[in-house]
Structure 1
């Protein structure tokens, strides 16, 4: 952690709520008492500022000066704040500093409308990352269904008047008219605007404003400009000063020009009496990457913890047989790294061509004006940039123009260059070296603004390449075990040993003790419990292979020739992962998921060019499977056979996440077993009345009736212990220590002062091997001295050598609190 950063309030825990028109601030306020009963200390709200009309997620902000009007606006937010305060709760909110929406109509975004109308003379021209080097038609508005000439010929574009202002209309789209051009003939008028209306396909090749990943309707904001920062954060800072918010979660800081500078400015703006707001960042760490220690943040939002915790419940011995199974069925033996390389290459050369083109423009200009660099051709620069982006293994380096380049950034870029060099002709190697030197700021003139822009833009492009190439393409192409294909994850890393977990948790406790931890978010591809339901595949790969062969044979009549085996494997794993109390998931949910999955994979069909025949084959298979009683009976038999193992993972991973170092977040509804898939499936309505009824029954002394009750018991009791014993989980006394065990089928750790721990957490892992070995038998764990009471069952056990069979009586997890 940054030694100079001191958060004023660190939540003991958070509970994520998706604010949207269907779940307003008042709806959240109505659940304040339930959240307090559950044991959380802070409600964690999705973006609260005004988004585009109808937004169900809030990341498409159009007005930083207003709270979401479709969620009730400021009056409802104030009621929510009052309800939370009355329940003894605080609130933290999601912040979107990187981009704003390009809404329909564009007039909904006042800053954007002004820039479209007045161009560089607009008072908001500095807000957006626009290339104003083009003398006119600078902002590409790629919204037309056909080319501009065809649109004009068809009379689809008309001049109209809204209020006193002339506007151009194209169906639902409305655009302002540059003053002084309103009397021109329509074709000339269109040609004289500060924006260029174009066919939607033009965007990927000629877009000249920075956007969020490859989403044209999210325009990047220059929050590094102090005036833009002040204006876009004024309301949030007001809420922090008023005590209506106590912390912030920062969305996608890697997209910013200067993440470190942004966080420092945010810390300074929220500073009171030497402390600042608790701030965590949505940061994906790749491989051995660590969060920069000079960032003013409490840590990440917890994707790293998600994978370490989930891996504890996977059997590493299952990796090889599942790899062989996947290869034998698909005929695909290439490693995942090759899938990633191909996917990133496609993204760089197609979806992000405009971003690459801008980088090459900058390089060509820099090289042209430097006699030492002049002989590096535009084509060579383009090829080098492409290969470097494909090879770059992280979301960004941390190079700040004008500052000494960090050694780690040099190392990572040079490693990427080594990989890139293998894909370039020998005569391009010198050009690649120049590109690397310029990206590191160690070539060219340090006073050249184009060099500074290239250094920043290269880093801002690395993130989209990783996100679109890996998460949104490769993860939908390779399904050895789909639960590993998760945000910020590495599907080639199969499982986490107890020793690896203890090392991770110990480092987290010492370096980022107030970071967030999570198992489910609005961005995860599968909920925590879907992933848990897939863990038995790792312990029983041969049995799964045999079961899968039977399923495929039973479903042969539903399989069209067009269906890819990889897609079929995804269907089967999705069925297993989402199988609930009432059986398989609903047809509409499965079909919607498969449409998204196959289009994201971009193998057979895409969002921009759907292949109707392939999508029909996928739908035919999915419908056939869901309607075939014999197939469902066979899949159901597997689910029933592995239910006990799934239960161990469901309860175990949630418990470990709640008890380990960090601030645990509970995603809405996941205090019961939640079998959601990727968004928008994970934003479905949550039945809070059912959860409140179950919690009241447990509090009245009823025994858990099912796994839902068991999970609710584990979540509520662990959160309450965190709230009642802050010294064990927060602050200088909240140490972490592994508790010795005589078996690898359990993980145990203590929290609190090292010389007198307050709680001990114990969780079962790998129940399949445990059963094969004959159960717990005489296996023990070494409890610290004292008497310990199980917060889940009330049973007390003495310190010293304790039998697992006594500690884990009735549940596969135990939270032992010192009496």
Structure 2
């Protein structure tokens, strides 16, 4: 027998399939309700569209944000198990439409991509994506181009459409529905302003603790770090710093107010172009560069699914990436 021959005795071969398009409008529970009817029609296997975690409003499921979680809009693990049990009770099976080679990157639920945006080449997940960290344009070195703006960057900036937010000890940037992380090492642009706002409390213990947090940021491994040990150190220490900052704000309301005032200053004031200089400086220090959507064809530096900017390819040919994307399936 040839080395490539297969033992077909235990292989299930579908004889008739029926496509089920799962989304918030058609769930596991609803699929369970029609199993008996599909069986009556002679269907041997349900052909399921992707039902893994995807964009919140996704109707197709191909913009997966986590291959290892069910889409909550479609149902829970219990709902899924009940549907599968119903299929088996009728001697039926399922074919799963799985998307292992790309991910939806518009939704902040994609923790791999968010980590890359926060940490750049030093992200634990940077090797998972096919990103050119050294493109021809030098201003894109160690950055990911994000062509998501509806207009030229300067115009968007001065219209106040880019806003920094502070929550739970960490900073983020919003642009309408988009949410991007701010690199912890660049928190100093905001915290230095906050320290100025706290000048009258120099003799308080919380002021010294706040200064200590600011100092800890200076010792954080840089986002261009590629040494595995230093990358792990950065991943660990940045989260500790965030927790310290969150705790300090909870214990000293003065710190929370000082940060909120600093964020207000950073965000600038419409009608005063120079007031956005600090925000521009902060954004230039990130591991991503926001750009007008029209520049995507010429400047984009990550591999996409065809030319769809919202779908970033992942390097599923790497065993560690393959394994990471197939923990559930």
TM range (shorter): 0.5 to 0.7
3-state SS of paired residue (1:186)? helix
Partners of 2:161 and 2:113 lie apart in 1 by 23
Q: Is the 8 A contact 1:137 1:191 kept in 2?
A: no
Q: Is the 8 A contact 1:136 1:195 kept in 2?
A: no
Per the normalisation by structure 2, the TM-score is 0.68
Partners of 2:91 and 2:169 lie apart in 1 by 51
Question: Displacement, 1:5?
Answer: 4.8
1:750-791 deviations in Å (ceiling 9; x for gaps): xxxxxxxxxxxxxxxxxxxxxxxxxxxxxxxxxxxxxxxxxx
Residue in 2 that maps onto 1:556: none
Question: Displacement, 1:3?
Answer: 3.5
Matched, 1:189 2:282: yes
For structure 2, the 5+ residue unaligned runs are 190-277
3-state SS of paired residue (1:234)? coil
Partners of 2:94 and 2:67 lie apart in 1 by 19
Question: Displacement, 1:182?
Answer: 2.2
Aligned length: 234
Match of 1:61 among 59, 64, 68: 64
Check 1:165–1:5 CA distance in 2 against 1; reply closer, same or farther (3 A cut). farther
Q: Is the 8 A contact 2:121 2:142 kept in 1?
A: no
For structure 1, the 5+ residue unaligned runs are 237-819
3-state SS of paired residue (1:19)? coil
Q: Is the 8 A contact 1:137 1:193 kept in 2?
A: no
Match of 1:11 among 11, 14, 25: 14
Matched, 1:127 2:128: yes
Q: Is the 8 A contact 1:137 1:196 kept in 2?
A: no
Which structure has more RCO (C-alpha within 8 Å, separation ≥ 6)?
A: 2
Question: Displacement, 1:217?
Answer: 0.4
1:442-472 deviations in Å (ceiling 9; x for gaps): xxxxxxxxxxxxxxxxxxxxxxxxxxxxxxx
Residue in 2 that maps onto 1:21: 24
Partners of 1:4 and 1:137 lie apart in 2 by 47
3-state SS of paired residue (2:66)? strand
Per the normalisation by structure 1, the TM-score is 0.28
Partners of 1:188 and 1:6 lie apart in 2 by 63
Q: Is the 8 A contact 1:64 1:233 kept in 2?
A: yes
Question: Displacement, 1:13?
Answer: 2.0
3-state SS of paired residue (2:18)? strand
Match of 1:222 among 306, 309, 315: 315
Q: Is the 8 A contact 1:138 1:195 kept in 2?
A: yes
Q: Is the 8 A contact 1:45 1:91 kept in 2?
A: yes
Match of 2:37 among 31, 34, 41: 34
Residue in 2 that maps onto 1:209: 302
Partners of 1:132 and 1:4 lie apart in 2 by 44
Q: Is the 8 A contact 1:117 1:178 kept in 2?
A: yes
Partners of 2:279 and 2:315 lie apart in 1 by 33
Match of 2:165 among 157, 160, 167: 160
Partners of 2:173 and 2:26 lie apart in 1 by 35
Match of 1:76 among 73, 76, 79: 79
Matched, 1:142 2:147: yes
Residue in 2 that maps onto 1:180: 185
1:455-507 deviations in Å (ceiling 9; x for gaps): xxxxxxxxxxxxxxxxxxxxxxxxxxxxxxxxxxxxxxxxxxxxxxxxxxxxx
Question: Displacement, 1:51?
Answer: 1.1
Question: Displacement, 1:73?
Answer: 2.7
Question: Displacement, 1:113?
Answer: 0.4
Question: Displacement, 1:163?
Answer: 1.9
Partners of 2:6 and 2:181 lie apart in 1 by 45
Alignment of 1:304-319 (within 5 A): none
CA RMSD of aligned residues (A): 1.8
Residue in 2 that maps onto 1:108: 109
Partners of 1:15 and 1:171 lie apart in 2 by 39
Residue in 1 that maps onto 2:89: 86
Q: Is the 8 A contact 2:22 2:59 kept in 1?
A: yes
Partners of 1:151 and 1:50 lie apart in 2 by 31
